[in-house]
Structure 1
Amino acid sequence: MKAFTIAEPEVLCCVEIPEPTTSPADVLLKVRRIGYCGSDLNTFRGGNPVVSYPRIPGHEIAAEVLSIGSDVPAGFAVGETVTVFPYTQCGECSACLVGRPNCCKFNQTLGVQRDGALTETIAVPWRNVIQAPGLSVVELALVEPLSVGFHAAERGRVTADDTVCVIGCGMIGLGAIAGAALNAGARVIAVDVADNKLVLATKAGASHTVNSANEDLHTRLMELTGGHGPDVMIEAVGMDTTFRACIDEVCFAGRVVYIGYAKRPVSYETKYFVMKEIDILGSRNATRENFQSVIETLRSGRYPVQGTITQSVPFAEAGKAMQRWANDPSRVTKIQIEVDAKA
């Protein structure tokens, strides 16, 4: 069968691979649609430190059930469309033992530490198949990336009483905005340097926007929070400047959540850690509960699905689409690959 693989940095090509083998506990899926993730772009560019080559990308998945293993419990049906929980858990590390398997020390995400789903078919353990009746394949392929942002809002303990500032309105930032605003009911301030992304952030639930290329971030945040600063700062960019801005701008007794990875060491004015008594939190991947929250939000119709999709391309153009994204990433929110364009 056909698959797309990142053979080495800057080289993505179509290859033939064997059909997947299945165990009695597996569900065989026909892949319908795949979303490209920022981690896929980093792998393509050669900047993903946890990837080895060649690597088949793809963990934002919409698929159709082809067959069901003999040990799979009742409830799945051939022909239904589903998404996939793309992470693993060892069950034995410190994170798993305290009920936080999303940050399992030995996690292997599809398309990152192990081959992903940019293929024609894939076998998946039944426990990782997520049913979401009523969602389209476009929506199913958005569940995972939105869940990552929902998890960040959960890590920040966001409530309806909070003012939350999200820095970065790419796909993960939009998930954080929707998780904080649409799911938790918070007031959200979205920050980016692109006006088109701020327009989309408003549709995803942001009450206020700040273009930090044109406005002074500190001044605007003070105006919008009565001089206190936001209760929660969520960083979804991965820059040293935005990492520091979260510490500088969060209110006293506030919370800071980091989703992005800074590409170089970050220097802090550490007195604010103590003076403000802030909680500094990392956020990795998502939980099954986050998946369900996103599914309910998508079912409600409140999230701007079509506005989020920058481009949908046929399977044969997956390589060209990745190259175009690498050449001009600022214009892209989400690219989806139509692996099987069945109506």
Structure 2
Amino acid sequence: MIESEGRTRFHDVAAPVEGNGEVRIAVRHVGLCGSDLNTYRGLNPLVQLPRIPGHEIGGEIIATGAGVPPDFAAGKRVIVMPYTHCGYCASCRKGRTNACRYNRTLGVQQDGGLAEEIVLPAGKLIINDTLAPRHLALVEPLSVGFHAVRRGRVNAGERVVVLGCGMIGMGALIAAVARGAEVIAVDMSAEKLALARRFGATHVIDASARDVVAEVSALTGDDGADIAIEAVGLPATFTQCIALAGYSGRVVYVGYSKAPVTYDTQLFNLKELDIMGSRNATIDDFRAVIAWLEGIGDEADALISRIIPFEEAEDALPFWDGNRDSLKVVVAR
């Protein structure tokens, strides 16, 4: 549990009991997200402490409540969709439940999965016995990047700039490459840029050493990007996307800035940009990621920087805070 800024501790909590339509899960793997790290650092305005973090969850079914379909049998492995939806807000009525106005994500607006057991509705679980158990925790963060690419309507042959090669940015990169796009990956970490190349980026730019806008202009013959995807969450990268996108281009914001962003809006009009937000992911995004992971097998291990035993979970967020080049830290039990 994150007790307060910079402080994590084990706590005893009441054992969860499955109710009607619910499934009790033994949590086996939990990936730590940037939102968890921001909570630990006191920078997540969506979280009230204390909070059990963790929404990138792979587990095993222990028991089921009444009304749960028989497919959800004890011993089956599952991937968790960690979002809620109300069913009646404007987004839900439009079928876009991933953007529910009243969503409560595990580990953010409610306690998450960094625990021995958790109880969830059966409808929030995807049964999967084909992926390696450790890879189940990769599905949710990659799905968020896949969703951003779907929001951006990326097509084969288009040039896509991805700002930020953390796990969500990597998901966007992978999804864009899978659609046949040419991807320019931007980050300040040599390790993450090397992984970006490994997973299909055509070009990489070290933002700590190069003028990103000038480099993208040179690589695109001064056309700019067809799609610029922001996966960092800083005011500077929010505004940089507008400069990187070419005329009649598209911008997708999947990161969110914790500080106000000031724009010179003339380029919105001059370029006639499509500017889109992207939130969470849908079941179709999860399924697309699962298929991709099943196709690459153990190659997905390259996306995991470190696996930390559950008994040492108190040290997981402090470790990541001190090793920011790590792409994905996973707690395993």
TM value normalised by structure 1:
0.94
Structure 1: tracts of 5 or more residues without a match = none
Contact (CA 8 Å) 2:24, 2:119: kept in 1 or not?
A: yes
- 1:302: Cα distance to partner? 7.3
Question: 2:331 is matched with which residue?
Answer: 337
Question: How far apart are the structure 1 equivalents of 2:172 and 2:283?
Answer: 16
Contact (CA 8 Å) 1:203, 1:304: kept in 2 or not?
A: no
Question: 1:32 is matched with which residue?
Answer: 28
Question: 1:306 is matched with which residue?
Answer: 301
Question: 1:231 is matched with which residue?
Answer: 226
Question: How far apart are the structure 1 equivalents of 2:196 and 2:229?
Answer: 14
Q: 1:78 aligns with which of 71, 74, 80?
A: 74
Q: Which amino acid aligns with 1:165?
A: V
- 1:304: Cα distance to partner? 4.3
Q: Equivalent pairs: percent with the same residue?
A: 46
Contact (CA 8 Å) 2:168, 2:231: kept in 1 or not?
A: yes
Paired residues for 1:79-94 under 5 Å: 79-94=75-90
Question: How far apart are the structure 2 equivalents of 1:225 and 1:108?
Answer: 41
Contact (CA 8 Å) 1:297, 1:303: kept in 2 or not?
A: no
Contact (CA 8 Å) 2:76, 2:128: kept in 1 or not?
A: no
Q: Which amino acid aligns with 1:191?
A: V
- 1:327: Cα distance to partner? 2.8
Q: Which amino acid aligns with 1:251?
A: G
Contact (CA 8 Å) 1:255, 1:278: kept in 2 or not?
A: yes
Question: How far apart are the structure 1 equivalents of 2:258 and 2:67?
Answer: 45
Question: How far apart are the structure 1 equivalents of 2:219 and 2:127?
Answer: 40
**What number of residue pairs does the alignment pair up?**
333
Contact (CA 8 Å) 1:177, 1:188: kept in 2 or not?
A: yes
- 1:268: Cα distance to partner? 1.5
- 1:190: Cα distance to partner? 0.4
Question: 2:120 is matched with which residue?
Answer: 124
Question: 1:15 is matched with which residue?
Answer: 11
Tell me the secondary structure at the aligned position of residue 32 of structure 1: strand
Question: How far apart are the structure 1 equivalents of 2:67 and 2:247?
Answer: 53
Q: 1:219 aligns with which of 214, 218, 223?
A: 214
Contact (CA 8 Å) 2:98, 2:282: kept in 1 or not?
A: yes
Paired residues for 1:140-289 under 5 Å: 140-182=136-178, 184-289=179-284
Contact (CA 8 Å) 1:203, 1:303: kept in 2 or not?
A: no
Change (3 A) 1:302 1:156: farther
Question: How far apart are the structure 2 equivalents of 1:24 and 1:168?
Answer: 42
Contact (CA 8 Å) 1:178, 1:303: kept in 2 or not?
A: no
- 1:303: Cα distance to partner? 8.7
Paired residues for 1:87-126 under 5 Å: 87-126=83-122
Question: 2:41 is matched with which residue?
Answer: 45
Structure 2: tracts of 5 or more residues without a match = none
Q: Which amino acid aligns with 1:157?
A: R
- 1:263: Cα distance to partner? 2.7
- 1:311: Cα distance to partner? 0.8
RMSD over equivalenced CA pairs, Å: 1.3
Question: How far apart are the structure 1 equivalents of 2:305 and 2:297?
Answer: 18
Contact (CA 8 Å) 2:18, 2:64: kept in 1 or not?
A: no
Greater shift after overlay, 95-104 or 295-304?
295-304
Give every structure 1 segment of 4 or more consecutive aligned residues whose post-TM-superposition deviation is greater than 3 Å.
Answer: none
Tell me the secondary structure at the aligned position of residue 9 of structure 2: strand
**Deviation by residue 1:25-49 (Cα, 9 ceiling, x = unmatched):** 1111111111111111111111111
Tell me the secondary structure at the aligned position of residue 242 of structure 1: helix
Question: How far apart are the structure 1 equivalents of 2:197 and 2:216?
Answer: 17
Tell me the secondary structure at the aligned position of residue 275 of structure 2: strand
Tell me the secondary structure at the aligned position of residue 19 of structure 2: coil
- 1:163: Cα distance to partner? 0.9
Question: How far apart are the structure 1 equivalents of 2:117 and 2:109?
Answer: 19
